Chains A and B, each alone.
Chain A
Amino acid sequence: MKKLEEILRTWEPVIGLEIHAELTTLNTKMFCGCKLEFGAPPNTHTCPVCLGLPGALPVPNRAAIESIVLAGLATNCDIEKHSMFYRKNYMYPDMAKNFQTTQGPIAFCMRGHLDLDVDGANASERYGLADLKPGESTGNITRTEDGYVAHVGITRIHMEEDAGKMVHIGGGEGRIAGATHSLVDYNRAGTPLIELVTEPDLRTPEEARLFMQKLRQIYLALGISDCSMEEGSLRCDGNVSLRRRGTTELGTKTELKNMNSFKNLHDGLLYEICRQAQVLEEGGTIYQETRHWDPTAKRTIVMRVKESADDYRLFPEPDLAPYDLSDEFIESVRAKLPELPDDKAARFQEQFGLSAYDARHLVEHRSTAQFFEACMSDATHEAGDAAIKLAKPLANLAINDVAAWLNANPDVVLDESPLTPNRAVQLVQLVADGTISSKQGKEVFAAVLADDADPKAIVEDRGMQQVSDTGAIEAVVDAVLAENPDKVEQYQGGKIGLIGFFVGQCMKRMQGKGNPQIINELLASKLDA
């Protein structure tokens, strides 16, 4: 198949996402008082309501309604005061009532948007970006210095309930194909679920990935979901179609499922764009179908062909009272809005003088952003206004070293780890004042985690302090120059590459602790004199 870059010259991909998030941080289910808990023994968190027993009636969880309003406010949605629940009727064994309680044409949250910062190499996937100057806009994007900002519309966020879980047995590896039986567990049935639907405003797999990532940051900041793509509490389906550049009519779309990681979302969409381009270029037809991304085989497979629109016999749920949300209610929810990632990044730029890039990446993870703030608070306590100088190195530490360490050790809880904010500040300070080199800084970082010790103590114990005393270094420099008159002559004759030899000799005599910068300066002044 052709490469994406080549395809994008002829075709414009049109991508929309449907993102489901389980409100895992609540205590109970959407319509009953059963506990929300992942991994409990099967069917132990069930009751008449979530088992769909005859006669049972639903009662909505107030906290779930507050959560979805929170999500709507955080994604710039209009909060609809008047809405209702509906029944979406279809028979499937993981749905105890054989209808899903969801919302109708009017959802709690309508007409929102998120702005995505796309930078780096991936920004070049956006067709026509090169024609724009920074600050210029076309369509839903605005060029920036290092990429562009994409304005992505959100159609709606509606409230619904999750289904139970099925395990297929008798076939291979729990797969539905070849299974003879299924086991149904309704513990998950009735878990509060919010579904966000985007406008078809996304144009590249990278934009889709960034949207999902940004939404996840927001939901995590709101504390409404644990957003675990692995456990399925955050799930994403993608609708993809292609149209020839310059045309406006939408092509036939396929719906992509099973993109249960950021990488799978990106790779699945990328594959599907390439597949559709190939089919269309060979004169074939795209069918409206649901396709499953197989990350192992690296391709999408047809799950179901839709011959016509599904008819779910949607009608207002008579067992649930309609909603008439008051301004008071909405404002009480708004008052619970925490600082959102975008606002936090703007504050970090303003308050600590960070670059936009650093600030944006710092807020990608709630834990690193929190850690950075704790460090700055500690540094300010120690050094007052001078702490601002440590902002950049502390941000780098958080974005690079801390994030990499957390990625490699997903079980680590930063708050409970040996790396306290105070230790991070010590470490950065030791590098900043030249006590240790930045290379030694990496060694000390590893040692703090391994030994649960203060950076100062580690540097002391290991005798890692750089010698920055000019007098002491000058003596060594003089000695080295005196011992190598032939090399001095060669250097002065133009073989300036020998500087490395002199530095190495000095370092050797000082057992690696000499401040390289001072050594270099002294050598230069003496040799060039």
Chain B
Amino acid sequence: MAAVGKPFGAMSIAEIQAGLAAKEFTAAEVASATISRIERDDAQMHAFLELTADMAADAAAKVDAAIAAGTFAEAGPLAGVPVGFKDNMNLLDTHTTCSSNMLANYVSPYTATCVEYALHAGALPMGKLNMDEFAFGSSTETSAFGPTLNPWDFQRVPGGSSGGSAAAVAAGLVPVALGSDTGGSIRQPASFCGIVGVKPTYGVVSRYGVVAFGSSLDQVGPFARSVEDAALALNAISGFDERDCTSQRADVDFTANLAEGVQGMRIGVVPAFMEADGLTEEVRARVAEAAQKLEGLGATLVDIELPNAKAAMSAYYVLGPCEAFSNLARFDSVRYGYCDPGHADLGAQYEASRAKGFGPEARRRIMLGSYLLSAGVYDTYYYPAQQVRTLITQDYDRAFQQVDCILTPVSPRTAFKFGEIGDPTQMYLSDMFTISINIAGNGGMSVPVGLGADTQLPVGVQLISPAFKDVNMFRAAAALESVYGPAPVAPQFAKED
């Protein structure tokens, strides 16, 4: 272990790279020490499903070779940085399970673009992270392999669906993890775990190789404990990919204006959101305080309206299941995935394999999507939901004529206890502030702003950008961070070795 007291996973990217450059430690040490620490400290929390020690060592060897050759500066923005990947991201020769029994034994024969880009940027792959089954959930409780615990309080959920990614970063096991966000699956767990989580504009990060849930809603993004690290990670994984038709050519440096401050920035606040049913007082207070802090730093607060946001929830629970139903049809026991033994005809094998391979929430969404797309029903829900998407997009377009960025809550409350929310429709309310952004496709991120007064658990605020102007929210996020400081490692993981 290096002279620095902090574990590598609890360091920032800059700290790791400075240590490597100064030869205080080697990338090989970073890799092996981080693997050891995860083996030791994640046993109970269960953020990781699989560790990739050999791959991490191989990647570290390349970084060390670059350092030895004096070419470290060209080794990439994530050179030597331990990174974890949500388990819906294909990485060659690893299991990609989506936390489902359906894919328990599935081994990836290829690598997702976002993972490939991270590795190309010099990241050390630590392993695959737990999630809600096929990303259906807001608590990581639907994982077929058991839930991940919230590093702040093991009685509570880390949020979801990217709960493993959020917990791993919040616990200081890795500085950066990747997640995916279909309705809030990066932002909500980031908020529950008190870290930064970014859902960039749809098309900024390639979806190729990331197991699809809702194809028109899914977007990959990073978790980190600082705004800068999140921006560096997004720089590494973003960029055009010819294998994804919805990938866009938008070469942006997300770190470009982190130091600019918010002087002169117009920041929208949505009064209707602040008065929403179900928003807890402690969260409301923290969000209001964050707005005031930004104002104090020179931003102008502007009240804005998103009148159609109230339809976002129902539009989302139409579009998501419809796309998921179709995306999950491929899990049929023929080419891969769980195959129930002993059936003499394919129909019976299909039905048994899909009944046992999918958990209850996956089954529910497949059934729901199939119903909503059926003849006669399509025109009642699916088509209107796509029209509502137009209205919601227009709401944002109008709002962004007045403001550069919008500030809202991420989640109506702080992390809840395991089993506390059993009713699926109540669980769906966790995403009430996040889903309209997936529907419109623009960028949103969660930034920690301290603890809730009542629960003493992390609260995040959401910053929302116009499409492809993700730099706006990064700029405001950096300003908030200047007030609240970077995210701390969750207390029970913060003890130094």
Taking Cβ atoms with an 8 Å cutoff, the residues of A that contact B are 48, 51-60, 87, 89, 91, 93, 96-99, 180, 182, 184, 186, 309, 311, 313-315, 318-321
Complex alpha-carbon distance, A186 and B346, angstroms: 18
Of the residues B210, B242, B330, B336, contact of A97 by C-beta under 8 Å: B330
Say whether A55 contacts B245, CB under 8 Å: no
A-chain residues with CB within 8 Å of residue B344 when the two chains form the complex: 180
Contact check: which of B106, B208, B216 meets A56 at CB < 8 Å?
B208
Max count, chain A CB within 10 A of own CB: residue among B89, B242, B325 = B325
What residues on A are CB-neighbors of B207 within 8 Å?
A: 55, 57
Q: Check B322 for interface membership: any CB of A closer than 8 A.
A: yes
**Chain B residue contacts of A319, Cβ below 8 A:** 212, 215, 244-246
Would you give the shortest CB distance from B372 to chain A, in whole angstroms?
9
CB-based contact A313/B246 at 8 Å: no
User: CB-CB < 8 A to B323: which residues of A?
Assistant: 318
In the complex the two chains form, what is the Cα distance from A89 to B284 in whole Å?
44
27 examples of A-B residue contacts, CB within 8 angstroms = A53-B335, A54-B98, A54-B103, A54-B211, A55-B90, A55-B210, A57-B208, A57-B243, A59-B244, A60-B245, A89-B325, A91-B329, A91-B332, A93-B346, A96-B335, A99-B329, A186-B335, A313-B325, A314-B373, A315-B322, A315-B326, A315-B378, A318-B323, A319-B212, A319-B245, A320-B245, A321-B245
Contact A54 B332 (CB under 8 A): no
> Would A184 and B334 count as touching, CB distance under 8 A?
yes
- CA gap between A55 and B113 in the complex, in Å: 10
- CB pair B375–A96 under 8 Å, yes or no, is no
Report which of B106, B110, B374 forms a contact with A48, defined as CB distance below 8 A: B110
B418 close to chain A: CB less than 8 A: no
For B103, the closest partner residue in chain A by CB is A54
* Contact of B94 with A by CB under 8 A: no
Judged by a CB distance under 8 angstroms, whether B209 is at the interface is yes
Nearest chain B CB to A233 CB, angstrom units: 25
Contact partner, B245, options A59, A93, A186, A314, Cβ 8 Å: A59
Contacts of A87 in B (CB 8 A): 326
Q: Chain B, 467-496, contact with A by CB distance < 8 Å: what is the 0/1 string?
A: 000000000000000000000000000000
Interface status of B171 (Cβ within 8 A of chain A):
no
The smallest C-beta distance from B138 to any residue of chain A, in angstroms, reads: 22
Tell me the dominant secondary structure on chain B's binding face.
Answer: loop
Min C-beta distance of B107 to chain A, whole Å: 11
CB atoms of A311 and B209 under 8 A apart: no
Q: Is the CB of A55 within 8 A of B378?
A: no
Beyond A93-B332, A96-B330, is A313–B374 a contact (Cβ under 8 Å)? yes
Question: Which residues on A sit within 8 Å (CB–CB) of B273?
Answer: none
B300 within 8 A of A: no
Contact status A55-B335, CB under 8 Å: no
Does B446 make an interface contact (CB < 8 A)?
no
Query: Sorted from nearest, which 5 A-B pairs have the closest CB atoms?
Result: A98-B329, A313-B373, A318-B216, A318-B215, A54-B211
B13 to chain A minimum Cβ distance, whole angstroms, is 27
Determine whether the beta carbon of B208 is less than 8 Å from that of A55.
yes
Known: A52-B335, A55-B212, A315-B378. Is A89-B329 also a contact (CB below 8 A)?
Answer: yes
Contact of A51 among B88, B212, B335, B346 (CB under 8 A): B335
Tally of B interface residues using CB under 8 Å? 44
The reply to whether A313 and B326 form a contact with Cβ atoms under 8 Å apart is yes
Q: Cβ of B224: which chain A residues have Cβ within 8 Å of it?
A: none
Query: Does chain A have a CB within 8 A of B396?
Result: no
How many Å lie between the Cα of A180 and that of B346 in the bound state? 10
The reply to whether A52 and B211 form a contact with Cβ atoms under 8 Å apart is: no
Rounded to whole angstroms, the CA-CA distance of A315 and B350 in the bound complex is: 23
* A55/B211 in contact, CB under 8 A: yes
Shortest distance from the beta carbon of B335 to any chain A beta carbon, whole Å: 6
Whether A91 contacts B103 by the Cβ 8 Å rule is: no
Question: A57 contacts which of B109, B216, B245, B334 (Cβ < 8 Å)?
Answer: B245
Residues from chain B with Cβ under 8 Å of A53 in the complex: 90, 109-110, 335-336
Docked Cα-Cα span, A96 to B330, in Å, equals 6
Given A52-B335, A311-B375, A315-B378: A58 in contact with B245 (beta carbons within 8 A) = yes
Q: Restricting to B212-271, which residues have a CB under 8 Å from any CB of A? A: 212, 214-216, 242-246
Is B244 a contact of A57 with CB atoms below 8 Å?
yes
Interface string of B38-50 (1 = CB under 8 A from A): 0000000000000
Q: Are B374 and A311 in contact (CB under 8 A)?
A: yes
Q: Is the CB of B326 within 8 A of A55?
A: no
Contacts of A318 in B (CB 8 A): 214-216, 246, 323
A321 near B246 with CB under 8 A, answer yes
Residues of A close to B85: CB separation below 8 A: none
Q: Which residues of A contact B411 (CB under 8 A)?
A: none
Selected from B106, B242, B243, B326, the residue in CB contact (under 8 A) with A99 is: B326
The answer to the question of B382 belonging to the interface, with a C-beta cut-off of 8 Å to chain A, is yes
A255 to chain B, nearest CB (A): 19
Roughly how many angstroms separate A309 CA and B373 CA in the complex, as a whole number?
Answer: 15
When distances are taken between beta carbons in the complex, the residues of chain A under 8 Å from B326 are 87, 89, 99, 313, 315
CB neighbours (8 Å) of B336 from chain A are 53-54
Q: How far is the CA of A60 from the CA of B245 in the complex (A)?
A: 9
Question: A311 vs B323: C-alpha distance in the bound complex, in angstroms?
Answer: 16
Minimum distance in angstroms from A310 CB to a CB of chain B: 9
Q: How far is the CB of A177 from chain B (nearest CB, A)?
A: 13
Residue of B whose beta carbon sits closest to that of A311: B375
Q: Does B112 contact A (CB under 8 A)?
A: yes
Report B-chain residues with C-beta under 8 Å of the C-beta of A52: 330, 335
**Which B residues are in CB contact (< 8 Å) with A98?**
329-330, 332
Docked Cα-Cα span, A53 to B207, in Å, equals 13
With A55-B88, A91-B332, A96-B335 given, is the CB distance from A315 to B382 under 8 Å? yes
- The answer to whether A313 and B112 touch across the interface, beta carbons within 8 angstroms, is no
For residue B48, give the distance in angstroms from its CB to the closest CB of chain A. Answer: 20
